[in-house]
Amino acid sequence: MVASAKETKTSRRAKDRLHHIHARAGIQQDGLRRALGPELREIWGVADDAEPGRVREIVLLRLNRVLERFADPLMPEIVWTAYNLGVDPVNGGAGMVGRIRTMVGRGRVAVSERTCTRRFYDFLGTVKNSLDGFQEDLTGEDFRVASGWIAGNVRPEREQTDGGLRDPVPSVMRMFLDGTVWGPADEAGAPVPARLGAHGDWLCVFTDERLLAEYRAITGAGWARIRPRTGREVVLAAARRDVATGVLVNPRPTRGAGIHAALPLSPDSIARLAIRR
């Protein structure tokens, strides 16, 4: 069957519109529906009156169907960083180039920025080709799952194969590694460890500045500096220390427990710490 001139033109316009999705804030951009254009919306089944949340779900699901064809374990990290899913909101508006540069700079992939960009455009080429083929129907369960990915800002997990996940990093761990945390630092900017005697050394970090402020208010801790880092940078800092060091997330002192100093803590202070859930 030979495609008509109208069909060819529609397909070309739809493919051109794919370049608008990874621009700016990616799938988080406010004008995503408009960025798709009428031709791409028609191919992907985006209704004219679709709510912004549903538009994001459809785009995510369509992209993920294509991504599942790639065996390259780096592809999910590259693709979802480009499209701004599972990315620290601080860096989300940096555009595709900025997000990929940050990803490479933080060591989340062991390849160059140029290689990441090339692989992303390999993926984009496959998405373009997919527009000429059959588009599977999306189900209510598909939308339920996609809604959870977007609400949690987490990336789709790979399907299980041979009894295990193809994606070895759980979503929660990835969110911590890629997200921003706050912790005490010395005058040189290095993390300040909590030395807990027989319990070892710990780097204590907070996932929200308000939690850190609350901790300081209760304990009266007077740190030289407060410095934001990614969770990955904290883990690497712990691994580089000469003594075994763990990472304690969101420590919470018990009010009235008599903690007079924090980070470093006295050895008996560990008993007064609880992990905020």
Distance CA 33, CA 184 (A): 42
Residue among 184, 172, 152, 150 nearest 262 (CA)? 184
CB burial of residue 104 (10 Å; 0-12, 13-18, 19+): buried
Q: Which pLDDT value is given to residue 6?
A: 52
Q: Which pLDDT value is given to residue 259?
A: 29
Q: Which pLDDT value is given to residue 246?
A: 84
At 105, the amino acid letter reads G
Residue with tokens 């995503």: 32
Cα angle: 276, vertex 88, 70; to 5 degrees: 115
Q: Which pLDDT value is given to residue 174?
A: 62
Cis peptide bond N-terminal to 267, omega within 30: no
Give the tokens for residue 265.
């803590």
Question: For 242, how many CA atoms within 13 A lie in the half-sphere containing its CB?
Answer: 0
Q: Which pLDDT value is given to residue 141?
A: 92
Q: Which pLDDT value is given to residue 173?
A: 66
pLDDT per 10-residue tile (average), the chain, 277 residues: 55 94 95 96 95 96 93 91 93 92 90 95 95 90 93 78 43 68 87 78 84 80 82 85 84 47 37 34
Residue with tokens 């599942």: 68
CB 264 within 8 A of CB 193: yes
Question: For 20, how many CA atoms within 13 A lie in the half-sphere containing its CB?
Answer: 17
At 54, the amino acid letter reads R
Give φ, ψ of 193 to 5 degrees: -80, 150
Q: Which pLDDT value is given to residue 106?
A: 87
**Helices 32-44, 52-67: crossing angle, 10 deg rounding:** 60
Give the tokens for residue 81.
């960083």
Supply the pTM of this predicted model.
Answer: 0.59
Distance CA 80, CA 26 (A): 9
Give the tokens for residue 16.
């051109």
Give the tokens for residue 212.
């850190």
